[in-house]
Structure 1
């Protein structure tokens, strides 16, 4: 018997501006990628040229059978210098939103997805107490111009990402292996030189380069909380019909006997401490890719025999349903799955992953949990930050020499599920 989803379920895919648009020259990441000795494996350059080819990409998404598209508006394009708003950039994103409307696609807009204007980093970045007001001002400008076209908005993508980054750094400092740490730590002197160069490029002390993808102090985490609250308040005043949420990246946090306390602490750090700041949100954006397992001594390594993705994550699609259930016990709000997927060059494994993940979601819905949508990560193979273009998450392959789009079987498979509203 086919498992049915609600008739108004949002079926879609996600992207992030810096990863797909190309030539995002006023962002902090552009500067970091292009420094001599950069830790980025390659530069984003023209990426997959989505800034020019967005109409084609949205039409493709619709042709698969998907009815929603989650994408981000790039702050560094809208406000390239503080207080200077770029009319052409606003009109570009108006065209993106209209392309969604013309293809009967519901847009879900993220206002900050990791990349930040260079000027904000010079002014203290995501540790500055002035950042919440600056972020709210940008959000206000976008919503005044475009709010009537935006039914759903995520203020900040993965507001908890710095907590995971801090754990990675801590594992390295305590002598964890490269596999446990999750980053290449072969050349720490190169990293030190790079951070010195970063400071010079931004015109601040190296320790004062506070991009979004960095470890936060307690004060910096408070900046994230306040940025969401002030943005939400501004959006509500300007665009009261827009539904507002926040996205968090959540592992399915498990434990073996003796690891329960470690797991409970991880749930608090990565999710529960954010609950007070989401009380007045309209929905929650849930992002999940895999699980973590804790034992008596802390985080356990992935079993040697486990299947792994290109990102080094355990292939574990069952994680999604488990996380939906955990979230629903603590947060009485509609849940939108804003990211879920895998990096793999084996599209059959992507299809199997989607099927297993969605069976878990449907089981949650049948239990009465209000899941309102599923956005696959990602629509296109794209620029995976420091790792470059080698990690293939997309439903669509891109030949970057020609920018030709090549939909994968998984795109049509997910579209078929969406058309039939069942799996």
Structure 2
């Protein structure tokens, strides 16, 4: 029987801005509403997880799952610089307490892409001052809630800005102004790479909205300089130090977006470069971390001329990247060669309108995780992305990653078969289920 141990964490993940709704003090809310916005639609009420978190977590519990990864929204906690909102801390305390009351392990992310609007006006993620600001925010949250947070991911997908920068450079080199199928596989989250459309209007509005030169508007998902890369990792180190000062028992880590980079003959140098850019160059900043969050959705194949584009025979997900659940196990093996501490799969999933396809994806992905455990790799948990169909950033609400569908006109929840399937794997194992 291929059964995960009772200690192994299996559950699902969300991010605050994507599910809570009405995150009015955040940079993303601002960018969603400016003239020429590059967002398909605004987040608005999202799926109202802010008010319906008990119902949503209960659905996770009823399916037999034992772990919930979610983010605390900095823009709610500190809506204005230096002004912390006790009511919002109380809200997240209630979420955490509900998890503990129901034997659900919370994995908390302190920053999942969205930031306070004021932070961007102060220079954002290319400013040295953000290191201190993020440290102050982290210390405040942990001083109030740390006893309820066994695991903290400081920053979600710390390498995402670098991946976006690569896409922009490729687009510039190709003279392309529009997203296409080949570009859509580049980023593992819902980012529209049509960055040049309506750019003049958009950037003028950006500058007006944040009160600064539009060239200095640096959200977390803006193309990033090398200086910005260092600032991100210093933010992580600062947060980790603050967390450990307040509560040394908390396990602290960070998450990365990692592809399964595969080489055809002659493609090996490209794979080595991508692996170094995506992960290896960050290792010096992680030496004092307790765990690593691995996030994987697909693979990239590299030949002697670089990235090999998908063709009409490639099975694609709704997001436009290859359906390849085995990528997760391969990435875990790669990471384990360079990381000997615990690993948590903090995101892995598929956008599809066919839930049978999601079931297939989950089983094949978790079969890879189980094989890694048998090989001795120190994986301690898996949280599927995502618990709910949600706001997929610039792509709006059309993408469907969730284990639970939501009718946003009524905010009614409709659990999918894949939710109970994941719970069955947690409790019955992989044998005897779908082959």
TM-score of the alignment, normalized to the shorter chain, above 0.5: yes
Q: Which residue of 2 aligns with 1:281?
A: 289
Cα deviation code 1:315-371 (max 9, x no counterpart): 000000000000000011111000000000000000000010011110000011010
Q: Which residue of 2 aligns with 1:240?
A: 248
Q: Which residue of 1 aligns with 2:273?
A: 265
Say if 2:109 and 2:156, in contact at 8 Å, map to a contact too.
yes
Q: Give 3-state SS (helix, strand or coil) of 1:188's partner.
A: coil
Matched, 1:9 2:5: no
Supply the distance in 1 between the matched residues of 2:92 and 2:73 (Cα, whole angstroms): 9
1:332–1:256 CA distance, 2 compared to 1 (3 A): same
Supply the distance in 2 between the matched residues of 1:354 and 1:187 (Cα, whole angstroms): 32
Supply the distance in 1 between the matched residues of 2:195 and 2:403 (Cα, whole angstroms): 34
Q: Which residue of 1 aligns with 2:188?
A: none
Cα deviation code 1:240-299 (max 9, x no counterpart): 111001000100011111111011000000000111111111000000000011111211
1:181 to 180, 183, 201: 183
Q: Which residue of 2 aligns with 1:228?
A: 236
Supply the distance in 2 between the matched residues of 1:150 and 1:232 (Cα, whole angstroms): 13
Query: 5 Å matches for 1:3-402?
Result: 3-175=2-174, 178-182=180-184, 188-402=196-410
Supply the distance in 2 between the matched residues of 1:407 and 1:126 (Cα, whole angstroms): 37
1:394–1:186 CA distance, 2 compared to 1 (3 A): closer
1:185–1:318 CA distance, 2 compared to 1 (3 A): closer
Say if 2:9 and 2:382, in contact at 8 Å, map to a contact too.
yes
Say if 1:6 and 1:421, in contact at 8 Å, map to a contact too.
no
Say if 1:18 and 1:115, in contact at 8 Å, map to a contact too.
yes
Say if 1:169 and 1:181, in contact at 8 Å, map to a contact too.
no
Supply the distance in 2 between the matched residues of 1:64 and 1:181 (Cα, whole angstroms): 36
Say if 2:154 and 2:254, in contact at 8 Å, map to a contact too.
yes
Residue correspondences, number: 422
Q: Give 3-state SS (helix, strand or coil) of 1:358's partner.
A: helix
1:184–1:12 CA distance, 2 compared to 1 (3 A): closer
1:186–1:83 CA distance, 2 compared to 1 (3 A): closer
Q: Give 3-state SS (helix, strand or coil) of 1:19's partner.
A: helix
Say if 2:65 and 2:426, in contact at 8 Å, map to a contact too.
yes
Supply the distance in 2 between the matched residues of 1:216 and 1:33 (Cα, whole angstroms): 21
Say if 2:13 and 2:347, in contact at 8 Å, map to a contact too.
yes
Say if 1:285 and 1:337, in contact at 8 Å, map to a contact too.
yes
Supply the distance in 2 between the matched residues of 1:215 and 1:187 (Cα, whole angstroms): 11
Supply the distance in 1 between the matched residues of 2:338 and 2:330 (Cα, whole angstroms): 13
Supply the distance in 2 between the matched residues of 1:196 and 1:350 (Cα, whole angstroms): 41
Q: Give 3-state SS (helix, strand or coil) of 1:247's partner.
A: strand
Cα deviation code 1:146-172 (max 9, x no counterpart): 000000000000000011101110111
Supply the distance in 2 between the matched residues of 1:164 and 1:221 (Cα, whole angstroms): 11
Between 299-308 and 399-408, report the one with greater CA deviation. 299-308
Say if 1:337 and 1:375, in contact at 8 Å, map to a contact too.
yes
Supply the distance in 2 between the matched residues of 1:147 and 1:101 (Cα, whole angstroms): 13
Supply the distance in 1 between the matched residues of 2:430 and 2:360 (Cα, whole angstroms): 15
Say if 1:13 and 1:68, in contact at 8 Å, map to a contact too.
yes
Say if 1:171 and 1:181, in contact at 8 Å, map to a contact too.
no
Say if 1:253 and 1:292, in contact at 8 Å, map to a contact too.
yes
Q: Give 3-state SS (helix, strand or coil) of 1:38's partner.
A: coil
Supply the distance in 2 between the matched residues of 1:358 and 1:56 (Cα, whole angstroms): 26
Q: Which residue of 1 aligns with 2:424?
A: 416
Say if 1:251 and 1:291, in contact at 8 Å, map to a contact too.
yes
Q: Give 3-state SS (helix, strand or coil) of 1:111's partner.
A: strand
Cα deviation code 1:51-96 (max 9, x no counterpart): 0000111111100000000000000000000100000000000000
- TM-superposed CA distance for 1:186, in Å, is 6.6
CA RMSD of aligned residues (A): 1.2
Q: Give 3-state SS (helix, strand or coil) of 1:231's partner.
A: helix
Q: Give 3-state SS (helix, strand or coil) of 1:174's partner.
A: helix
1:185–1:93 CA distance, 2 compared to 1 (3 A): closer
Q: Give 3-state SS (helix, strand or coil) of 1:245's partner.
A: strand
Q: Give 3-state SS (helix, strand or coil) of 2:366's partner.
A: helix
